[in-house]
Structure 1
Amino acid sequence: MWEKNNSIYDVKEIRTRTTCYLGVGAIDKVDPIMEALSDMGHRRVLVVSGRSSYRTCWGKVLKAFEKHGVSYVHYDRITPNPTVDSVDEAAQMAREFGATAVVAIGGGSPIDSAKSAAILMEYPDKTARDLYELKFSPKKAAPVVAINLTHGTGTEVDRFAVVSIPEKEYKPAIAYDCIYPLFAIDDPSLMTGLPEDQTRYVSVDALNHVIEACTTVAASPYSILLAKETVRLIAKYLPKALRDPKDLEARYYLLYASMIAGVAFDNGLLHYTHALEHPLSAVKPELPHGLGLAMIVPGVVKNIYPARPEVLADVLSPIIPGLEGTPEEALGAAEALEEWLFSVGVTQKLSDQGFGEEHVSKLVHLAKTTPSLDTLLSLAPVTATDQVIEDIYRCSLKPLKASAAVRG
């Protein structure tokens, strides 16, 4: 395949709304990026990260800061499934320091939090709860630089961010043009230390992005094209990364797949899987987002396949060969997708995480009432009735074949 003739060490400049640097050694681009920020007058920045992963590139970031006269304040308390309180704290830190730009270092949680803080830096009279309860529509944000440390979210090149409101068990999403990162760095050498489960879960996140982006009512030939290539690359390179975490070629193509998946859903948008996962990890914040998606996507495919059989048969062909694109294949396609997920080590279902039949009505309510999730549900290729949402949750409690045997 063409990948063998593409040098992963040749850092490429890929332009979406963000200028993204992709390749082994892309972290070195932090130097000209900081030069550009300094030249634009942004010499005080807020750094947003988790507690430790930022250290994989911190030396080079500090060197670039020092070289170009950029001073910083560092908020390093972002956790998985970050909260509005952390965003408010980071934004307040930025305002007190006089920061005018944001450097995010990490995966989806730090980058999404950084995007959110970047908005609040321009709207000092607003809070993160105002932002995520959709009480205002921002038109501006401080410039964001995203140094990405996982191959899953695509947030380094899109306009989306997700943050939880814990007391309401809400996990809304926002999407504004003003939070496209100005620059992004996608360097696979920063990801060889990802734990095995995280490698699985972030790749499944990218897979879900395109299963949704190619089947929404907003899907286009472009989102379908990107979806098929994303699935092909994940099918080929995820097993390789699991066998050898230091395989830079595997990390490169999983990272590229994640990036184009981000572009795909930036265009085609999302629907059921993300709308129904967000209540899961809002109720249970320790649940990894990618695992939540993996547990419910077979149920989603079962329900939407009859509405988009030709598209899904084509897009999923790298992991489910032999589909003919007929509505009658829906259950078989869903079961085959679940079998593939099990084959790469993602074997849990909702019951393994403590969810049962007694939780379904609450999850349906959250999916229908959490700010922004109604928009995602409105984009689904089949109408998001309570009955459909309930069915997706119920058939995600146990493996599909086991559930079918019980129903039988």
Structure 2
Amino acid sequence: MWESKVDIYNVFELRGRTLCYFGVGAINKIKDIAEELKKKGVSKAIVITDEIAYTVTGAKDVVEEAFRNAGIEWTVFTDITPNPTVEQIDIATDLGKSFGAEVVVGIGGGSPIDSAKSVAILLEYTDKDATELYEQKFVPEKAKPIIAINTTHGTGTEVDRFAVASILEKDYKPALAYDCIYPTYAIDDPALMKTLPYNQTKFTAIDAINHVTEAATTLVASPYSILLAKETIRLISRYLPQALAHPDDLVARYYLLYASAIAGISFDNGLLHFTHALEHPLSALKPDLAHGLGLAILLPAVVKAIYPAVPEVLAEIYEPIVPGLKGIPGEADKVAKGIEKWLFDLGITEKLVDVGFSENDIPKLVELALNTPSLGLLLSQAPIKATEQTIEKIYRESLKPLA
């Protein structure tokens, strides 16, 4: 395969709305970024992260040295959890305001970087809070500059305009999509992912699989989003088993990270639909549920539901996982069971009943999918009509294995 000929230590620039430095050793580019910020008059930064992402990955030492050498003061907020809340974002914003932060640095996976994007908006709109932001009570047009240092290979948030947070009192987990929260700079360094735990390695990769499954099949899908989807699934199917067996394999981490980044670009262009719209209620009700696991649980039933509408696309992009598909509507059950088997072979055997949901929860889940702010936009992009009955059927078929 051509991948073996690529020098993974050659840090290249993946250019889009965000300038992303990509490759082993890319973390050292924070030195150049800090110098550039200093030239632009930036003297204070707030770092939004969690303790593990900041210290265990080794990012802390490099970032703090770069800021120190550039003469930039910084403060650190580490109380971001998986499925971050609006309360956490408000506390971080207050810290940023009192410190006088002029730039926001997100270090970690989707939770810290999404939170950093949210803080960057609220530092500009000082009379607003995170609940107002996520309930879409106002439309932001500006944000403080954002630097995203990514430590997982799943979300793609380092190169896109999306962010997610939970409003626990309402069981909401809405999403944002604003041009002002494209990071100015991003760093994708596979070496930061060698310490990613086994399950997070799986679940973040499945997040990327879902991003492209949706982006390739929305009503606004394009040849570009489909092309990126095909390559994402090929790379993940090839390199995920290798990364699970050999966590220190930087080649495997490199291509999983690249797959995640292009998946982020794919859904930045093609948008999302069912799996994300239906997963958000799951992890809103159960914040300890890993986002990627929730997506994995729903994926087979979602593909089964949409396959008759877009069989040619799904047959092509899923060829590495379910080979021999002809791209005809009658294969829906076959491809869904094939995807489920692939997930089971990876050790992802959980279904909704295994993570604490039952038949009795389905009406509440359907209600949240239909009424949570922003999720209606995702559902409107699905290739089939997102009726209450369709949503209910997907949840119901995800309670237990299809096979």
The aligned residue for residue 359 of structure 1 is 361
Residue type of the partner of 1:28? N
- Corresponding residue SS for 1:400: coil
Matched ranges for 1:370-385 at <5 A: 370-385=372-387
Give the whole-Å Cα distance in 2 for the aligned partners of 1:52 and 1:249.
Answer: 23
- Corresponding residue SS for 1:382: coil
Give the whole-Å Cα distance in 1 for the aligned partners of 2:234 and 2:223.
Answer: 17
Give the whole-Å Cα distance in 1 for the aligned partners of 2:5 and 2:356.
Answer: 47
The aligned residue for residue 402 of structure 2 is 400
Give the whole-Å Cα distance in 2 for the aligned partners of 1:38 and 1:166.
Answer: 38
Q: Which residue of 350, 368, 371 corresponds with 2:370?
A: 368
Residue type of the partner of 2:145? P
Does residue 21 in structure 1 map to residue 21 in structure 2? yes
Give the whole-Å Cα distance in 2 for the aligned partners of 1:320 and 1:254.
Answer: 19
- Corresponding residue SS for 2:123: helix
Matched ranges for 1:272-287 at <5 A: 272-287=274-289
The aligned residue for residue 31 of structure 1 is 31
Give the whole-Å Cα distance in 2 for the aligned partners of 1:39 and 1:334.
Answer: 53
Q: Give runs of ≥4 in structure 1 deviating > 4 Å.
A: none
Residue type of the partner of 1:369? N
Residue type of the partner of 2:54? Y
Does residue 153 in structure 1 map to residue 155 in structure 2? yes
Does residue 211 in structure 1 map to residue 213 in structure 2? yes
Does residue 390 in structure 1 map to residue 392 in structure 2? yes
The aligned residue for residue 299 of structure 1 is 301
Give the whole-Å Cα distance in 1 for the aligned partners of 2:234 and 2:217.
Answer: 17
Q: Which residue of 344, 347, 358 corresponds with 2:346?
A: 344
Does residue 82 in structure 1 map to residue 84 in structure 2? yes
More displaced 10-residue stretch of structure 1: 261-270 or 37-46: 37-46
> Displacement, 1:41?
1.4
The aligned residue for residue 103 of structure 1 is 105
> Displacement, 1:234?
0.1
> Displacement, 1:4?
1.0
TM value normalised by structure 2: 0.99
> Displacement, 1:305?
0.3
The aligned residue for residue 12 of structure 1 is 12
Give the whole-Å Cα distance in 2 for the aligned partners of 1:346 and 1:37.
Answer: 43
CA offsets per residue over residues 258-302 of structure 1, 9 Å max, x none?
A: 000000000000000000000000000000000000000100001
Give the whole-Å Cα distance in 1 for the aligned partners of 2:41 and 2:345.
Answer: 51
> Displacement, 1:392?
0.3
Does residue 178 in structure 1 map to residue 180 in structure 2? yes
CA offsets per residue over residues 336-367 of structure 1, 9 Å max, x none?
A: 00001111111100000110100000000000
Alpha-carbon RMSD: 0.5
Q: Which residue of 140, 143, 153 corresponds with 1:141?
A: 143
Give the whole-Å Cα distance in 2 for the aligned partners of 1:334 and 1:41.
Answer: 54
- Corresponding residue SS for 1:116: helix
Instruction: Note the residue ranges of structure 1 that are not aligned, 5 or more in a row.
Output: 402-408
- Corresponding residue SS for 2:20: strand
> Displacement, 1:53?
1.8
Give the whole-Å Cα distance in 1 for the aligned partners of 2:41 and 2:334.
Answer: 57
Give identity over the alignment, percent: 61
The aligned residue for residue 333 of structure 2 is 331
Residue type of the partner of 2:39? D
Give the whole-Å Cα distance in 1 for the aligned partners of 2:61 and 2:206.
Answer: 31
Give the whole-Å Cα distance in 1 for the aligned partners of 2:38 and 2:221.
Answer: 39
> Displacement, 1:57?
1.1
The aligned residue for residue 196 of structure 1 is 198
Give the whole-Å Cα distance in 2 for the aligned partners of 1:377 and 1:52.
Answer: 35
Give the whole-Å Cα distance in 2 for the aligned partners of 1:307 and 1:176.
Answer: 29
CA offsets per residue over residues 112-143 of structure 1, 9 Å max, x none?
A: 00000000000000000000000000000000
Instruction: Note the residue ranges of structure 2 that are not aligned, 5 or more in a row.
Output: none
More displaced 10-residue stretch of structure 1: 303-312 or 50-59: 50-59
> Displacement, 1:42?
1.4
- Corresponding residue SS for 2:47: strand
CA offsets per residue over residues 137-164 of structure 1, 9 Å max, x none?
A: 0000000000000000000000000000
> Displacement, 1:306?
0.3
> Displacement, 1:2?
1.2
CA offsets per residue over residues 39-91 of structure 1, 9 Å max, x none?
A: 11111011000122211211110110011010011111000000000111111
Q: Which residue of 127, 131, 134 corresponds with 1:132?
A: 134
The aligned residue for residue 406 of structure 1 is none
Residue type of the partner of 1:292? G
Give the whole-Å Cα distance in 2 for the aligned partners of 1:286 and 1:130.
Answer: 24
Give the whole-Å Cα distance in 1 for the aligned partners of 2:84 and 2:338.
Answer: 33
TM value normalised by structure 1: 0.98
Give the whole-Å Cα distance in 1 for the aligned partners of 2:41 and 2:364.
Answer: 49
CA offsets per residue over residues 90-124 of structure 1, 9 Å max, x none?
A: 11111111111101110000000000000000000
Does residue 232 in structure 1 map to residue 234 in structure 2? yes
> Displacement, 1:16?
1.0
Q: What is the aligned residue count?
A: 401
